[in-house]
Amino acid sequence: MANKKNKTNLERRDLLKGLAGVPVAGFFLLNLWQKIRRDKIKKSNLLSDLVQEKKAPAVVKSVSNSRQLNIGIIGYGGRGGHLVRGAGFATTAWTDKASENARKNKLDKQFETFMTQEDLNCSLVGVSDLFDVRADQGIDASKNETRPGGKPAVTAKKYPRYQDMLANDEIDAVIIATPDHWHAKIVIDAAKAGKHVYVEKGLTRTFDEAVDIYDVVKETGITFQLGHQNRQVEANEKAKQIYRQGLLGPVNLVEIATNRNSPWGAWVWNIHPKGNAKTIDWETFQEPSPNKIPFGEEALKRFFRWRCWFDYGTGLSGDLLSHDFDAINQIMDIGIPKYASSTGGVYFYKDGRDVPDTWNATFEYPDHKDGGLTLLYSATLSSANPRGNRIMGHDATMQMGGQSGGGSIHGFAVTADEYSTQYKERLNNGMINPSYPIMTYSPGSKDIDGVTSATSKYFANKGLLYTYRDGKRVDPTHLHVKDWLDSIRNGTQPRCNVDVAYHEAVACAMATESYLTGRRVEYDAKNRKLI
Amino acid sequence: MLYSSILERFNSIREREMNTLNPSIKSNQYQFYGLVTLRFLIGWHFLYEGIAKLLNPYWSSAAYLLDSKWIFSGIAKSIVSNPTLLTISDYLNMWGLTLVGISLVFGLFSRYGALVGMGLIMMYYLFAPPLVGLEYGKPNEGSYIVVNKNLIEACALWVLYVFPTSQYIGIDRFMNNETKN
């Protein structure tokens, strides 16, 4: 009897010792369950409760195969080359280098992104550039077989005069990527010739030219797209939903910024060794500019670094303010400001330029629905401190781009305001902590790629280099060109049509005018005039 | 022939280990339960590290690998650049940590669990060691030079490997009749 009891005791002790981990695991599971439950409550308070649409924007419906289109490029420079790549044509030099980069650095996805982009069912049939070397590169791109969709059907023709290209009836549409001072004339000529137009930003050099473009596009009914590829960036569409839902509360101040700190970023671009009086048509180049100079060393500098002079562009205004202004217009539908004023100067790059390298502009919207709105733009070309853009609401602030670290490319973070009215209860019961974002958005965070150069990083933070569709990396420039071509085929309006293009052009022109005249500029919407 | 001689050799090592290590750790209760507690704590840590990753659909080993420095940074980069390898690395981490955690907490094959855990943590250490001159994107939660918590945890697992306790406290007890009592 005693023996049996002893044995049972022994067995029980055995069992207890063998299963000693069970209570530990039980305690663990209890804690895990509490943690999961708490996280769930927190999430429901912060996310599902707040953001109605949680899914990423759908992929643009593919209609690229319905009708073949013939396109021409006017101005095949750095940007023109990128746009034509967006349409599916890259130079052999580019594909060779990109594939070599991919071989050397497995994280470099540029080549893969290009080769996997959708074939837009178009042919590059005409190239026009005032610099012969560039025109030849465009021809080379038109016949390069390394491209999505395989061997091109035709080789492009070189047009020294763009007017001859517009006279070709086989051409359906043109991409215009010349310096800004040529935009208005070419857009008007193209629209009158019945060609659909994709034109690079900034839309025009002057206010009057913007009005002319607006009118001619409306009169002719062509399909018009301005080159703000941010319109295709997923994060901006997401930000728009959040703003529209009122999650930020009333917004009275928006800050946008440019922070660059490299010669390239300040438009000190290389002067091509083959650039000379024979290869460059200088007289045609300076035809629409207010001041003319004879061809020589200074002219060469101006030809390749045209963004540094008001004769050909508007510097920070048309090049960089325009992007960020348009992104805010995309998110908040702010339209044209009532007043603009700006100040700045050439404080760092004393290389003969006349456009400012440090520049601040304010735009006033006294009639904005939130009671009134100030848009503040601050730019420097001598510091790369990533300030990012901020939409500052009474209830929460949205910080876009410019975040350091975390591998977040063109995402944003929304942080509740300590004194918010909307979130008062949640702040009081500790459900929302104003020190941490209530929501962060960084698309493609599982898809890592190496964006290496400083300029690439600048654009990636602004969301201008890559965006994500269904988790796949795509070049927004490609999506923007596709949006334009699809709209031509469907007879619909592309995302950056002439209405929103006009907003950007007028806002930028007002700020430029203010800098040049030293006074506050007002927009008279009724008479379409600057006062 | 060869196989049976290897098995014989293995068994004799195992027997010797059991005989030399076990009585000594059992002789002092404080030492013994200290080791058991260490096993529970490390097991708990592994288990939550694994489960937290399993529960997070966005977790990936990519960020850690991308920040890798020193001799394994090249390997880290090729893992990240290859989606298949990255997926394998993600699963190995998530499930490796979870299973090692279960093994240590329940005392199930705990010696092997400790060995695998030590291997995992040594990998974390070697892919990003706090050596002088190496700087990382992510800030540390403490101050380290050469020695960090990973190295210490790996060393603690080595202690658990050479002083096994699961044949007394743990499911392994049911598999080792001779060690009962």
A10, A17, A25 member nearest B105 (Cβ): A25
Tell me whether residue B120 is in a domain: yes
pLDDT the model gives residue A404: 36
Q: Which residue has the higher pLDDT, A232 or A509?
A: A509
Interchain CB distance below 8 Å, A448 and B170: no
B 82-101 residues with CB below 8 A of A? 82
Beta bridge partners of B160: none
Residue A498 scores a pLDDT above 60: yes
Nearest chain B alpha carbon to A17? B169
Interchain CB distance below 8 Å, A106 and B58: no
CB pairs under 8 A between A and B: 63
Mean pLDDT value of segment A262-271: 94
In the DSSP assignment, the letter for residue B178 is G
pLDDT the model gives residue B168: 86
A18, A25, A407 member nearest B174 (Cβ): A18
Judged by average pLDDT, the poorest of A2-6, A31-35, A213-217, B65-69 is: A2-6
In the DSSP assignment, the letter for residue B143 is -
Q: Decide: A502 and A523 in contact? Cβ < 8 Å.
A: no
Asked casually if ipTM beats, i.e. exceeds, 0.90, the reply is no
pLDDT band at A169 (very low <50, low <70, confident <90, very high): very high
Neighbours of A476 (CB within 10 A): 26
Please list every residue in chain A whose beta carbon sits closer than 8 Å to the beta carbon of residue B135. none
Q: The domain containing residue B55 runs over which residues? A: 37-179
Interchain CB distance below 8 Å, B105 and A28: yes
pLDDT the model gives residue A432: 80
CA-CA-CA-CA dihedral for A88, A180, A272, A382, to nearest 10:
-100
Interchain CB distance below 8 Å, B169 and A22: no
A10, A17, A24 member nearest B168 (Cβ): A17
Tell me whether residue B118 is in a domain: yes
Beta carbons within 8 Å of B8's beta carbon, 6+ residues apart: none
Rounded to a whole number of angstroms, the distance from the CA of B12 to the nearest CA of chain A is: 25
pLDDT the model gives residue B180: 46
pLDDT the model gives residue A409: 42
Residue A443 scores a pLDDT above 80: no
Render the burial of A501-526: b for 16+ CB within 10 Å, e for the rest.
bbbbbbbbbbbbbbbeeeeebbbeee
Interchain CB distance below 8 Å, A106 and B81: yes
pLDDT the model gives residue B17: 56
Q: Decide: A322 and A377 in contact? Cβ < 8 Å.
A: no
pLDDT the model gives residue A447: 42
Residue A255 scores a pLDDT above 60: yes
pLDDT the model gives residue A44: 62
Nearest chain A alpha carbon to B102? A25
Spell out the per-residue pLDDT of chain B, length 181, in tens. Answer: 567 777 677 666 666 555 545 555 666 788 888 999 999 999 999 999 999 889 877 677 877 887 788 888 888 888 877 778 888 998 999 999 999 999 999 999 999 999 999 999 999 999 989 888 888 866 677 888 899 999 999 999 999 999 889 888 888 888 765 544 4
Tell me whether residue B11 is in a domain: no
- Spell out which chain A residues touch chain B, with contact meaning CB-CB distance below 8 angstroms: 10, 14, 17-22, 24-25, 28, 32, 36, 106-107, 405, 407, 445-446, 448
pLDDT the model gives residue A16: 86
Nearest chain B alpha carbon to A12? B181
Residue A344 φ/ψ, nearest 5 degrees: 165, -165
Nearest chain A alpha carbon to B56? A36
Q: What is the pLDDT of residues A389-440, one digit of tens each?
A: 999 999 999 988 754 333 334 678 888 899 999 989 888 887 788 887 777 7
Residue A522 scores a pLDDT above 90: yes
Residue in the block written with tokens 């091109």: A152
Q: What is the pLDDT of residues A42-86, one digit of tens each?
A: 666 555 455 545 454 444 455 556 789 999 999 999 999 999 999
Interchain CB distance below 8 Å, B169 and A17: yes
pLDDT the model gives residue B71: 87
Among residues A506, A508, A510, A505, the alpha carbon closest in space to that of A521 is found at A510
Please list every residue in chain B whose beta carbon sits closer than 8 Å to the beta carbon of residue A407. 63, 66
Is B126 an 8 Å CB contact of chain A?
no
Residue A253 scores a pLDDT above 70: yes
Mean pLDDT value of segment A461-473: 55
Q: What is the pLDDT of residues A100-127, one digit of tens each?
A: 988 887 777 889 889 988 899 999 999 9
pLDDT band at A470 (very low <50, low <70, confident <90, very high): low
Interchain CB distance below 8 Å, A20 and B80: no
Q: Which residue has the higher pLDDT, A348 or B79?
A: A348
pLDDT the model gives residue A303: 97
Interchain CB distance below 8 Å, A448 and B77: no
A21, A32, A107 member nearest B170 (Cβ): A21
Please list every residue in chain A whose beta carbon sits closer than 8 Å to the beta carbon of residue B107. 18, 20-21
Tell me whether residue B166 is in a domain: yes
Which domains does chain A possess? Answer: 69-230 (3.40.50.720), 235-269+305-471+497-530 (3.30.360.10)
Tell me whether residue B125 is in a domain: yes
A14, A24, A446 member nearest B180 (Cβ): A14
A22, A25, A446 member nearest B60 (Cβ): A446
Mean pLDDT value of segment A142-149: 93
pLDDT band at A234 (very low <50, low <70, confident <90, very high): confident
Tell me whether residue B112 is in a domain: yes
B105, B174, B181 member nearest A24 (Cβ): B105
Tell me whether residue B31 is in a domain: no
Tell me whether residue B103 is in a domain: yes
In A381-518, the DSSP E strands lie at 389-393, 396-400, 412-416, 437-441, 467-469, 472-474
Mean pLDDT value of segment A510-528: 97
Residue A451 scores a pLDDT above 50: no
Q: CA separation (Å) from B129 to A151, B39, B46, B119, B136?
A: 50, 24, 20, 15, 10
Chain mean pLDDT for chain A: 87
pLDDT the model gives residue A50: 56
pLDDT the model gives residue A48: 46
The two three-digit tokens of residue B86, written as one number: 């990255």
pLDDT the model gives residue A348: 97
Q: CA separation (Å) from A113 to A98, A109, A474?
A: 10, 6, 6
Interchain CB distance below 8 Å, B173 and A14: yes
Domain count, chain B: 1
Q: How many helices (H) and strands (E) does chain A have?
A: 18, 18
